[in-house]
Amino acid sequence: MKTNQALPVKKNEQYTVTIEDLTFEGLGVAKINGYPLFIENALPGEKMDIKVLKTGKSFGYGKVLKQLTSSEDRVPVKNDNYTRVGIAPLQHIRYQAQLDFKKQQVENVMKRIAKMPDVPVLDTLGMKDPWGYRNKAQIPVRKIEGQLTTGFFRKNSHDLVPIENFYIQDPKIDQTILAVRDVMRKYGVKPYNEKENIGNLRHIMVRRGYYTGEIMIVLVTRTAKLFPKSKIIPDILEAVPETVSIVQNINTKRTNTILGNDAIVLHGEDHYKDKLMGHTFEISHRSFYQVNPTQTEKLYQKVLDFADLKGDETVIDAYCGIGTITLALAEKAKKVYGIEIIEPAVADAKLNAEMNGIDNVEYQVGASEDIMLEWSKEKREADLLVVDPPRKGLEKQFIDAVLQMQPTKMVYVSCNPATLARDLALLAEGGYDVKQVQPVDLFPQTPHVETIVLLQRADS
């Protein structure tokens, strides 16, 4: 049995501490006789009275009882709840300090994980107004005080905290969620009860085109029933006239995954349109589409700057989603090959290329690690490889295939600095030099950081 006897702190005891650092999640770090405590809403330099909430073998968690001094990076918060539910855990930090914090996160992993202490990291590209940026929301629905209610889950739980204004979302999305909630209340639709696995409406997803204003609404239900559809749909359309698509997604499973496998289109088709870098995209309810449109354009522009294409290159865009980066690259290259694992996303990608009159792209459905292995065995060549993998980064098999194929240049777009740094170390070992590292803030008020890295084959 574990015992806490040797620890220098005791659960539920109070201490006065000075915050020394921030974790990568933005929690303040205080040390008591070398034992780290992680504390929400606490900034380096601040002195605070705290209470120990939880102790583990090598670290614990504390809670601020009284803030005794204030950092110059502290700003007033929009709402305490937003830290608690994880919507805006950095909301108490001045925006420039958030950008500096993100740069430091990337510098840390470049030193500690990639073992590249000398590679300079550029300043984080930030937003002018770092609020109201999200073009997509997935909002849980539960019964609170007898009523169908929308909000957000308290961190590490499924307790719903009612929230009407999310601040980080496009305000039109907030309004749409409330309008849909009211229609659901009017017709007595039953909110999902997870414990007993009864009730029906689990989530409301809303996506909005930043340039087009088109709205897609997805009602995620536990069963295929939704009554009375013939009234619900016209009511939603009346309340939110910009709606071009309403989809019912059915998720019968007891799971944390939001979307189920089956869907019924209730209005329009299973897509809405938006624009990015001057191209129009049709986006279906399952497709990945970056959530911060203006910052995404900055990100893609950086990818193009790093790629520095002259027009005669062959390019591979792995993990291409619906082809947003692919089309931006296609305008500057001879040919671009996109690889994506989700079939409907590839169907969207093909349609999007056609819709934009772009004919020098080809898409392949499959796992990037398998397709790249196949292509490297076929001795295919590429001048540039762009990768934009999910948080877990690149598979070892993918990296091995890259080292076989040896594209001259690589641009790595990453949403997870730790896996990025791990992969960069392997690519460096295989003969690639890291030339540029650019963090971009796609998720203001949260600790997430996106990074773009330019790599070049050392012998090229």
Known binding-site positions for S-adenosyl-L-methionine: 290, 319, 340, 388
How far is the C-alpha of 424 from the C-alpha of 387, rounded, in Å?
Answer: 12
Q: Which of 178, 266, 358, 367 binds ligand SAM (CB under 6 A)?
A: 367
319 binds ligand SAM, rule: CB under 6 A: yes
Does residue 342 belong to the site contacting ligand SAM (CB under 6 A)?
yes
CA nearest to 259, candidates 211, 227, 318, 218: 218
Compare residues 124 and 368 and give the one whose CB is closer to ligand SAM: 368
Q: Least CB distance from residue 170 to ligand SAM, whole Å?
A: 18
Site size toward ligand SAM, by CB under 6 A: 20
Q: Which residues are catalytic?
A: 415
Q: Binding of ligand SAM at residue 341 (CB under 6 A)?
A: yes
Give the nearest distance from C-beta 424 to ligand SAM in angstroms.
Answer: 17
Q: How near is the Cβ of 137 to ligand SAM at its closest, in Å? A: 18
* Interface pick for ligand SAM out of 177, 236, 339, 424 (rule CB under 6 A): 339
Residue 324 in contact with ligand SAM, rule: CB under 6 A: yes
Count the Cβ atoms, other than its own, within 10 Å of residue 2.
7
Which tokens in the block code for residue 350? 């093909």
Assess contact for 251 and 299: CB atoms under 8 A: no
Applying CB under 6 A, among 62, 126, 293, 321 the residue interacting with ligand SAM is 321
Number of neighbours of residue 324 by Cβ within 10 angstroms: 25
Stretch that binds ligand SAM, among 53-61, 76-84, 152-160, 338-346 (CB under 6 A): 338-346
Residue closer to ligand SAM (CB basis): 415 or 453: 415
Contacting ligand SAM within 184-223 (CB under 6 A): none
- Candidates 231, 390, 429, 458; binder of ligand SAM (CB under 6 A) is 390
Pick from 41, 249, 368, 445: which binds ligand SAM (CB under 6 A)?
A: 368
- CA-based nearest residue to 54, from 21, 11, 83: 11
Q: Which stretch binds ligand SAM (CB under 6 A): 215-223, 229-237, 341-349, 432-440?
A: 341-349
The rounded distance, in Å, linking the Cα atoms of 209 and 45 is 42
91 vs 368, beta carbon nearer ligand SAM: 368
User: Among residues 15, 35, 210, 288, which is the contact residue for ligand SAM, using CB under 6 A?
Assistant: 288
Cα→Cα distances 395→256, 317, 371, 388, Å: 25, 16, 12, 12
Feature table: binding site: 290, 319, 340, 388
- Is residue 290 part of the contact set for ligand SAM (CB under 6 A)? yes
Write out the residues near ligand SAM by the rule CB under 6 A. Answer: 288-290, 319-321, 324-325, 339-342, 345, 367-369, 388-390, 415
